[in-house]
Chain A
């Protein structure tokens, strides 16, 4: 079980795993590792598609009055871009990493319900295919990623794109709930002996809390989707004001799901950061209890802030103040986390591997995104900037500069465990710097664009001084960003072929997944590893230094 024991299996890459040979071994698999890999790979494919859509939009916006595409096409592109990035890229990426690593980190053989796990993946997969099928079935959805009523009613949007949108999200939503349940039960019932909940790695904690958000927020979306489908397919009137229905009801229901959703997208990223930073700072995480407990606060508060997306809809002052207050409050537990991560790095002997670089950039960029979020919680600022490019900047600082950068940190950190090969650090650095430059170049100026009055979701703009230059700069940098992704793909392909063999524990890390081979055998561990402290693997090797109880 330890790395000293002679390797009985000379396995050093995924290709050596005879259990994983042939397409059928994947399609029929209930192995959490294969399912995790399928999630991650599919998410990445859709990521490329989403980036492609974004680049097309940036080409259209490179100069004023451009005719690269029609306004109708532009509507479809931002809708499909937003929907793809949130539901087809970010969520499955997080689920993939979670179902792959949670069982390994708690010393389990698999998830609590392996077949339910497979069901969750395939629901996502076919749901994702279904929404892209809409391009061939009369046009893609075009009402934005939150599809406001009554634009989404049949009377205003008669082509079938929105039906595909709603059905596909419903199918994927069911899959997400299944996976959320599975993760919670796994964490509660499958931990190895000695691993009390208070010794579970923070990634496990974050996934655990996150799964509660999933199972309690997705049904809100599902209910709203069922209602919009009833409206469109059966001529019901939930959201059609012409028949007494309420368009605002949709907004309430969508954001009752939507705000917890943005935390669903960020909590697992917090988990990744909480693993990567201590390992590369060679220090224990600072404030384990605070990091875990502040997450509980986030989970509860995230259900109490949804109306900050609706400040411009004519709410009463009482409602405005309550939701502005709760929205500012939620910045507190988030700030605590940032503080803990910085405190962990403080005085540590930091190794700036590519993973650590991404984690550091995450801290800075996520803070910027968080600050523009707090700005929006101030009602007058929201009234001024809502639906402008300031929002586009905010979204991307949180989701791209935040979540995605954290996931890249996770990918550089865990790729050796999953595939048996190290990613090249040299190409990794190139990947990182291109991405930082491309990302900030594309999106930082958008704060200014928004303040200068550029509305979001507009297919073109007037030739006015700040707008023209800022759009051009943004578009040019977006090409750098896209190029950074290509560099990453190159790194992956190259490393899979002939990357350095990773060995069990290339980073000298502390959690249980590093005790087994890379890639792990089908049964994960040859013997169930016990846990005695916060850093089980460390304790295992240095019994006299157990750093807990």
Chain B
């Protein structure tokens, strides 16, 4: 039988996917029913956000490495890979911040039009999930970096990894729909 904390996390992510699905559908619905697509293509910086997205995607890889090293008992490497994951996650959030700042400077806000409404709500909630994930990862890192030989339990590591990979996966969908669809 699957470990109960992981099972709980999987169920939570199942629930979260419905939440994100509906936000994404709202975006897609307005995308198809108006000229939201052209607005998106105009407003967004795909290259820049693409680069920051790569940072987020690779953080899934580094976290996977951390998880593997924890199972093999290589403590120093766990610390390294966790630090890398946190760093990459931070880079992504900074990138999102830069994108937001530029949009706001161009007067594109949540109340400007439907593009602003759907874009900021969707990516905002995703960013919030990244931030929560970062807090969790930092706790894991703190545990692995303490001198007294403590280390994150494999269950905690496993559950938080599930969460992080999920947040990553959601971004794959959001990025494709919000950033790439506008150009088709």
Give chain A's interface residues, CB within 8 Å of chain B. Answer: 112-113, 116, 177, 180-182, 184-185, 188-189, 215-220, 222-224, 226-227, 230, 234-238, 243-246, 249, 253, 256
B18 is an interface residue with CB less than 8 A from chain A: yes
In the complex, which residues 1-58 of chain B have their Cβ closer than 8 Å to any Cβ of chain A? 1, 4, 7-8, 11-12, 14-16, 18-19, 22-23, 26, 29-30, 33-34
Q: Determine the chain A residues whose CB is within 8 A of the CB of B4 once the complex forms.
A: 112-113, 185, 188-189
Q: Verify A189–B34 contact, CB threshold 8 A.
A: no
Q: Verify A234–B19 contact, CB threshold 8 A.
A: no
Q: Determine the chain B residues whose CB is within 8 A of the CB of A188 once the complex forms.
A: 1, 4, 7
Q: Determine the chain B residues whose CB is within 8 A of the CB of A219 once the complex forms.
A: 15-16, 18-19, 22
- For B, the interface residue count at a CB cutoff of 8 angstroms equals 28
Q: Verify B114–A224 contact, CB threshold 8 A.
A: no
Q: Determine the chain B residues whose CB is within 8 A of the CB of A224 once the complex forms.
A: 22
Q: Verify B114–A253 contact, CB threshold 8 A.
A: no
Q: Verify A222–B7 contact, CB threshold 8 A.
A: no
Secondary structure at the B interface, as helix, strand, loop or mixed, is: helix
Q: Verify A253–B1 contact, CB threshold 8 A.
A: no
A26 to chain B, nearest CB (A): 25
- In the complex, A235→B16 CA distance in Å? 25
Given A219-B18, A238-B117, the answer on whether A249 and B12 have CB atoms closer than 8 Å is no
B125 is an interface residue with CB less than 8 A from chain A: yes
Given A184-B11, A185-B8, A215-B11, the answer on whether A243 and B19 have CB atoms closer than 8 Å is no
- In the complex, A116→B1 CA distance in Å? 21
B96 is an interface residue with CB less than 8 A from chain A: no
User: How does the 8 Å CB contact mask read for B113-134 relative to A, with 1 for contact and 0 for none?
Assistant: 1101110110001000000000
Q: Verify B18–A216 contact, CB threshold 8 A.
A: yes
- In the complex, A498→B4 CA distance in Å? 43
Contact of B111 among A216, A218, A235, A246 (CB under 8 A): A235
- In the complex, A246→B29 CA distance in Å? 10
- In the complex, A181→B23 CA distance in Å? 22
Q: Determine the chain B residues whose CB is within 8 A of the CB of A243 once the complex forms.
A: 113-114
In the complex, which residues 46-86 of chain B have their Cβ closer than 8 Å to any Cβ of chain A? none
Q: Determine the chain A residues whose CB is within 8 A of the CB of B18 once the complex forms.
A: 216-217, 219-220, 223
User: Can you name 26 A-B residue pairings with CB atoms under 8 Å?
Assistant: A112-B4, A112-B8, A116-B8, A180-B11, A185-B8, A188-B4, A188-B7, A189-B4, A215-B11, A215-B14, A215-B15, A216-B14, A219-B15, A219-B18, A219-B22, A223-B19, A230-B117, A230-B121, A234-B111, A235-B110, A236-B116, A237-B111, A237-B114, A238-B26, A244-B30, A246-B29
By Cβ-Cβ distance, the 4 closest A-B pairs, closest first, are A235-B111, A223-B22, A219-B19, A236-B117
- Tell me the nearest residue of chain A to B22, going by C-beta: A223
- In the complex, A185→B6 CA distance in Å? 10
Among B29, B110, B116, B117, residue most surrounded by chain A Cβ atoms (within 10 Å): B117
- In the complex, A227→B18 CA distance in Å? 14
- In the complex, A219→B7 CA distance in Å? 18
Given A244-B30, A249-B29, the answer on whether A185 and B11 have CB atoms closer than 8 Å is yes
- In the complex, A112→B7 CA distance in Å? 11
B107 to chain A, nearest CB (A): 14
Q: Verify A181–B113 contact, CB threshold 8 A.
A: no
- In the complex, A11→B7 CA distance in Å? 37
Among A184, A189, A223, A224, residue most surrounded by chain B Cβ atoms (within 10 Å): A223
- In the complex, A217→B14 CA distance in Å? 11
- In the complex, A189→B8 CA distance in Å? 11
Q: Determine the chain A residues whose CB is within 8 A of the CB of B7 once the complex forms.
A: 184-185, 188-189
B73 to chain A, nearest CB (A): 27
Q: Determine the chain B residues whose CB is within 8 A of the CB of A181 once the complex forms.
A: 8, 11-12, 15
Q: Verify B15–A177 contact, CB threshold 8 A.
A: yes
Q: Verify A218–B117 contact, CB threshold 8 A.
A: no
Q: Determine the chain A residues whose CB is within 8 A of the CB of B15 once the complex forms.
A: 177, 180-181, 215-216, 218-219
Q: Determine the chain A residues whose CB is within 8 A of the CB of B114 once the complex forms.
A: 237, 243-245
Q: Verify B1–A237 contact, CB threshold 8 A.
A: no
Q: Determine the chain B residues whose CB is within 8 A of the CB of A113 once the complex forms.
A: 4, 8
Q: Verify B113–A226 contact, CB threshold 8 A.
A: no
- In the complex, A548→B67 CA distance in Å? 44
Q: Verify B117–A237 contact, CB threshold 8 A.
A: yes
* Known contacts A189-B7, A219-B19, A236-B116; 8 further A-B pairs (Cβ under 8 A): A180-B15, A181-B11, A184-B7, A220-B22, A226-B23, A238-B121, A244-B34, A246-B33
